[in-house]
Amino acid sequence: VTWGTPVEATDVGGNINDIVRIDDSTIAILYRDSGSILYARIVTVSGSVPTLGTASAVHTNVPAAIDRAAITLIDTDKLAVAYVDGADANKGKAKAATFTGTTIGTWGTAAEFEAGTTQYVTISKFDTDKAGVFYQDDADADKGKGALLVATGTALAAAAPVDFEAVEVAIGISSDQLDTNKIIIAYEQAGALDECVTIVASLTGLTISYGAAVAVNAANIDPSTSIVAMSTTEAYVGYEERASSDGKFVKLSIAGTVITAGSEQTFNGATNNVAYISLAKVSDKGKFIICYRDEGAANIGNAEVYQEYDNSVAAVGFAQSTVAATDPVVVRSKGTEANQAGLTIGSVYYLV
């Protein structure tokens, strides 16, 4: 990964809440400044140089945690933002706005999707002018819930929420679009096991339903999950394993609403202590990037690119974890791997 020059998006004390891709050279960012105001901006990218559009205020009072607001694209020229309203008992609300170039228009009237205290907000597109917002309802035993948002122009309407986690506490929630009627969700099922759990939300008409939840790890995790859909049938989920503080990721295969989890693999296993994990798709050729804070190395921000290779083809790379002979393996196709053992520096080895 080669980084371009950073461009300041918010003031000291602010934070980036979310980013959504618009096209190959344009994204939208959502951030909160030090004065609790939530802003959105269109950013164009030329090479590795970002150019910020004019900031557009979404709401004037949003709590400080980065998981209290999220953004998605619901049409080629329309954004939807879900957020916690710090000025109104921390209720869950959403707004939509259209944009032209790098200019965002007037945000529509806020639609309330949750009347109770709302946390861990994520939002993803279902279809044109439709999105799913998923969150923890702190006022209802910390259940995980999802609500459909439908836009008419910039006016949003919210359907009644539907539980996706009604037994344990849902925290660290993330989501991504699989198809025009499916969104995949990841979260920590905080309770007896603290597992990373994934589930598919389906939209039929204006009704959200869920497939069976699937736990993708056997050990406790910390609430920093991130999920990215690579296609309509494949996704990756990343998280921190609490016992080792290693960063982990798992490939998910999806058929309808049925999820099959692959082998757990490790990233950043040498220095440990990862936080604020974020996965993003890089290309349609199975390549994705993991960004995270390395708390074992002075809290620096790191990024690693991975690509899936089929074991049946002649590909060479660095893998941090073993998998079954019949499973695909995700490797670094370029870079270094600190955890290899049994090799002598300066010696020549042949791979067969």
- Round to whole Å and give the CA distance between 98 and 80: 9
pTM: 0.88
Residues in the chain: 352
Q: Across all residues in the chain, what is the average pLDDT?
A: 89
The amino acid present at 351, given as its one-letter code, is: L
Tokens for 91, please give them: 């209720």
- Round to whole Å and give the CA distance between 249 and 350: 29
Half-sphere exposure of 257 (CA within 13 A, CB side): 17
**Poorest-pLDDT segment among 84-93, 157-166, 261-270, 320-329:** 320-329
Say whether pLDDT at 104 is over 50. yes
- Round to whole Å and give the CA distance between 135 and 123: 9
Tokens for 296, please give them: 């074992």
Q: What is the DSSP letter of 211?
A: -
What residue ranges in 86-220 does DSSP mark as E strands?
Answer: 91-100, 103-104, 111-114, 118-127, 130-137, 143-152, 155-158, 162-165, 169-179, 182-190, 195-204, 207-210, 214-215
Name residue 111's beta-bridge partners. 94
In the predicted model, what is the mean pLDDT of residues 170-181?
96
Instruction: Tell me the pLDDT tens digit for each residue of 88-103.
Output: 999 999 999 999 999 9
Q: How would residue 295 be classed by pLDDT, with cut points 50, 70 and 90?
A: confident
pLDDT for the residue 352 = 41
Residues ≥6 apart with Cβ < 8 Å to 189? 165, 168, 169, 170, 195, 196, 197, 213, 215
Higher pLDDT, residue 14 or 129? 129
Task: State whether residue 67 is helix, strand or coil.
Answer: helix
Closest CA to 201 of 264, 159, 239: 159
- For the residues of 294-315, what is the DSSP string, one character each? ETTTTTEEEEEEEEEE-TTS--
Q: What is the DSSP letter of 109?
A: -
Instruction: Tell me the pLDDT tens digit for each residue of 54-93.
Output: 999 999 999 998 899 999 999 999 999 999 999 999 999 9
- Round to whole Å and give the CA distance between 185 and 227: 7
